[in-house]
Amino acid sequence: MTPAAEIERQVQEQLLHFDAFDGDVDDVLSAFLLLQFQLKEPHHKFVQEFLGPYLVEMQTWDDPALQSVFQTMDERKMMRRDIDLPDLVIAFKTVQLGLTGLWATEGPPFTQTARVLKLQMKLFSEGLKAGEAYEV
């Protein structure tokens, strides 16, 4: 098992005992992820060195295209207007990174990736529809 996989195994084993189910769905999921990051904090430098160079280079190429797409959707009034463009780009990139990981590990014909991608985009876009403003 690689060192990164061992760290993940240990963290996920601890997360099996997660018990913060008060609040809305977004509160519960946020608490789950924040706890995961807290548990991984002692290994942050290792993870940063492992993923950092790829993520920095990826942003150089992805950010302009994503900003253009979201700006065009905003101009066409296709989505809510209370989310700052840089925050929206970062939020989308986190989904994109997860899907890229799934795509990389699955391989052709990418059936699971296509199915989960559609689900993720449905969930993500539901949050972009005009409606109540979010507090972050």
User: How far from the centroid of its chain's Cα atoms is residue 6's Cα?
Assistant: 22
Tokens 């809305």 found at: 24
Q: Is the dihedral of CA 66, 101, 12, 10 positive or negative?
A: negative
pLDDT at 52: 79
pLDDT at 134: 58
Among 135, 31, 129, 13, CA closest to 80:
129
Under 8 Å CB-to-CB from 111, ≥6 apart: which residues?
Answer: none
pLDDT in tens, 43-62: 888 878 877 787 778 778 88
* Residue 82 · residue 134 · CB < 8 Å: yes
Residues of the chain with pLDDT under 50: none
- Per-residue tokens: 117: 């991608």
Using alpha carbons, list the distances in angstroms from residue 104 to 15, 77, 118. 25, 34, 17
pLDDT at 131: 63
pTM: 0.78
pLDDT at 48: 83
